[in-house]
Amino acid sequence: MSRHKLVKALDLDEELDDFDGGAESDYGEEIGAEDKEQLRVGTARVRDVLGPGVSIRDREIEDSLWHYYYDVDKTVDYLLGQRTNSQTPKKTKKQRTAAEVKQPDAPINSTQDWGTGDHITTSDTFSSWAAPFSTADFFSDCPWLNIPGDRHGDILIEPLYPRGGLLGGSSKSDGAPKSKLAALAAARKQKEIQKAEDGQNATNSAALLDKLIGKPRQLKPDGAPISSSGTPLSAITEQTVKEQPRKYPRRKSKRLESPEDDQPAKKTSQKLSCSASPEIEKPPEIIPTAGPSVFAQIIFGAPAGSQQHEVYTSDRYMLRPDTYTEFDFAGPSPDDVVTKAQNTKGPTKKPVKQPPQPPSGDQGVNAVAQSVGNVTIEEPLVKRKNLDVAAEFEKSKPKNAANFVVIGHVDAGKSTLMGRLLYDLKVVDQRTLDKYRKEAERIGKASFALAWVLDQGTEERNRGVTIDIAMNKFETKTTSFTILDAPGHRDFIPNMIAGASQADFAVLVIDASTGNFESGLKGQTKEHALLVRSMGVQRIVIAVNKLDTVQWSRDRFDEISQQISAFLTSAGFLAKNLAFVPCAGLTGDNIVRKAQDPHASWYTGAPLISLLESSEPVTRALEKPLRMTVDDIFRGGVQNPLSVSGRLDAGNVQIGDTVVIMPASQTATIRGLEVDSESSDWAVAGQNVVLHLADIEAKYLKSGDVVCPPSAPIRCVTSFTVKILAFEHITPMHCEVHKGRLHAPGRVTKLVAQLDKASGAAVKGKKPRLIKPGSVAKVLVEVDDPIPLEQGGKVILRAGGETIGAGLVE
Ligand SMILES: Nc1nc2c(ncn2[C@@H]2O[C@H](COP(=O)(O)OP(=O)(O)OP(=O)(O)O)[C@@H](O)[C@H]2O)c(=O)[nH]1
């Protein structure tokens, strides 16, 4: 059996396990003549002491002598102990007393387990070395080692799984025959466990400490003393370990100095971390089994003495010295070269200069800090052209422009109607509509394909419900229209209010199908109509929709028209401002073209588009100070990082203007401007614009803010009087104040007066304690935070998810 082994961290136990009986033969071969002689003499002396009555084989005596470095007394004591214990039943671990387990510093007594699994019985005869011994006594001059038992760390940690021997063999615990040495090793293992339990860590610490301070505790095989801590770790790792003849009798007759080392088990079972065993204390040498990896060679360089990259020539590696060139890290990376070339003006063939080497260390950090500090971000200068905007507007001969809000009960067909309008006007092409049809079919909502022209949100499409205002534009010969398609569902009334606040007139869509008209009337048909009226909308076009579902029944149309007309006039609309059209958005009848269904022949009036066009031109408040209610805020690109959109309610604006945002009172510069999605130098009241802002941070902007000129900013108030049309009973109560996109918590604090509907004069008598639905009243409202409001401003009051009233600020 070859005893040549690669050793990294020696564990004699494991190694011995591998012998499996081989020790007998090896023993004779490998011990020297001197050892043989000592064994022979020692055996004779042990036999003398034991006397003829004790039957022990020579080999057992020799083994013990070896372990005790030919110390006859200890050998005798050990052998006697073994014999005694072989005759008395062994104590199991469970039978051991707590005192035995918990007192690591207790003197070694007659029942101390010595790692062999046996108990040693001391006698006076052999008490010369086995006298009661205390580790505490031994380390009395090392007070720092007196660590309380409960604070001892686990230095010896049992491996999770049984480890194999040095040559891959595993410990034999299966009861297979073992050599004596293997059995001894197993016993030592057992003792090691026991030792850990007994809290012998203090002694291990002592051994470790000695190792650290370099106390010579063992001998080299040749007898020369070595320091346990003499070799630095780096040296250890760099050492090339030669294959050592792992001779069994490698220790000469020199004794270990520590009394604990007298115990056979301890000498061989200590682990590297706390071992006092000589073979472990010697820094292990490592034989490199393979050359460094390609990566390692690139990072650390080739090993000394080897030709650089030589190792790459192995077939195992992809890289070969003749297939690559060494990269110079001092120079620029390929990316740097390309970037530099791109940034360099002039012919691209110009050799690229090496960038200056960055300074190193603190110097480099300081230089970077300095250069960062020197960076200044310059806002591009915005030049104001000082245009006469009103004159420019006149010159442009603009088309009539109108915003209309599409209102009505949920599922009345508002989006479908507008989708059809845009499709028939060729604003939406066939391809897009086909795509919508396919996608809608795929999710089982084929009938909503036209609605998808306006309902662009994923949730809107999946649910088939409009959630927020959808804006779309189209033009006829005379007018430029903006559609504000409002959600019909009662949950989204605030969004509907936001749309209504920008509208010049409204299109009220009514579902004519049986039952739906009636339910719509009780639902949002009336609420929407009232809301737009209180927002100042005077004209309303009523599209009696889905007439295809009632075979274009004229009676149905007339019935609906009469009921709606009566309601709207009672709500304050003038009869002349009401226009009715029978239609079917789904089929396109009477939308842009006349109805093709023969059942609809009774209708000789104009289609919807004509009614829209006949709305009166919007009067623009051009001469008033600029007012634009912010509808949306968004971050654009590099050129226009911050923009707001909305409709100009009054005044005009041009590039280079300084404006003030209320209520934040922050100024900003208009660096760019878009009207109906096209760049422009100016904009006037009535136009839907996007203002690109400079010199302001996004945190000062929110929906509902008002853009004003610094010379005439809008007032921000916390209390105001409003002339209100009551939708529900109103008392002094908490409510939410809506103004376009803005909504703020507030409360009705006072019912000032009940007003006459026709004249608007206060009804004489007692102050009202309650405002009934349908009544008009003047109420005082307060809000927590200031909101931008001025006379004529339109506000809606809502409470508990219901609109309780709407009106104009006095
Ligand atoms: N038969 C028939 N169905 C229609 C007509 N117009 C719309 N619909 C259907 O009515 C359903 C609702 O249409 P939408 O356009 O989404 O209704 P809406 O009023 O926009 O709905 P919300 O915005 O969510 O309140 C869809 O299934 C449409 O196909 C029509 O003229 N005839």
pLDDT at 611: 92
Please tell me the distance between residue 412's alpha carbon and the centre of ligand 1 in angstroms. 5
Please tell me the distance between residue 482's alpha carbon and the centre of ligand 1 in angstroms. 20
Nearest to 357 by CA among 338, 319, 329, 381: 329
**For the chain, which residues score pLDDT lower than 70?**
1-30, 85-185, 195-294, 296-331, 338-381, 758, 766
HEC readout, 522-573: HHHHHHHHHHHHHCCCCEEEEEEECHHHHCCCHHHHHHHHHHHHHHHHHCCC
Which of 416, 421, 519, 556, when mutated, tests ligand 1's pocket best, judged by the most ligand atoms within 8 Å of its CB?
A: 416
Please state the pTM of the whole predicted model: 0.52
* 557-586 per-position pLDDT tens digit: 999 999 999 999 988 889 999 999 999 999
Are the C-beta atoms of residues 282 and 226 closer than 8 Å to each other? Answer: yes
ipTM (interface predicted TM)? 0.98
pLDDT at 147: 64
From the CA of 408, give the closest atom in ligand 1.
19
From the CA of 485, give the closest atom in ligand 1.
23
* Segment holding 127, helix H or strand E: helix 127-130
From the CA of 587, give the closest atom in ligand 1.
31
Round to whole Å and give the CA distance between 166 and 6.
8
For ligand 1, whether the C-beta of 548 sits within 6 Å is yes
Please tell me the distance between residue 411's alpha carbon and the centre of ligand 1 in angstroms. 5
pLDDT at 568: 92
From the CA of 419, give the closest atom in ligand 1.
15
- Name the residue at shortest CA distance from atom 6 of ligand 1: 413
pLDDT at 154: 52
| Token pair belonging to 51 | 């006397």
* 61-72 per-position pLDDT tens digit: 888 888 888 888
- Name the residue at shortest CA distance from atom 8 of ligand 1: 413
For ligand 1, whether the C-beta of 489 sits within 6 Å is yes
For ligand 1, whether the C-beta of 513 sits within 6 Å is no
Which of 407, 411, 551, 591, when mutated, tests ligand 1's pocket best, judged by the most ligand atoms within 8 Å of its CB?
A: 411
pLDDT at 734: 93
Round to whole Å and give the CA distance between 160 and 141.
37
From the CA of 465, give the closest atom in ligand 1.
24
pLDDT at 365: 52
Please tell me the distance between residue 413's alpha carbon and the centre of ligand 1 in angstroms. 3
* Domains of the chain, start order: 400-613 (3.40.50.300), 627-708 (2.40.30.10), 716-809 (2.40.30.10)
For ligand 1, whether the C-beta of 747 sits within 6 Å is no
Which of 485, 509, 547, 586, when mutated, tests ligand 1's pocket best, judged by the most ligand atoms within 8 Å of its CB?
A: 586
For ligand 1, whether the C-beta of 416 sits within 6 Å is yes
- Name the residue at shortest CA distance from atom 21 of ligand 1: 411
Are the C-beta atoms of residues 806 and 727 closer than 8 Å to each other? Answer: yes
- Name the residue at shortest CA distance from atom 29 of ligand 1: 447
For ligand 1, whether the C-beta of 409 sits within 6 Å is no
pLDDT at 130: 44
For ligand 1, whether the C-beta of 412 sits within 6 Å is yes
For ligand 1, whether the C-beta of 546 sits within 6 Å is yes
Round to whole Å and give the CA distance between 194 and 808.
92
| Residues recorded for the chain | 810
| Token pair belonging to 556 | 């149905």
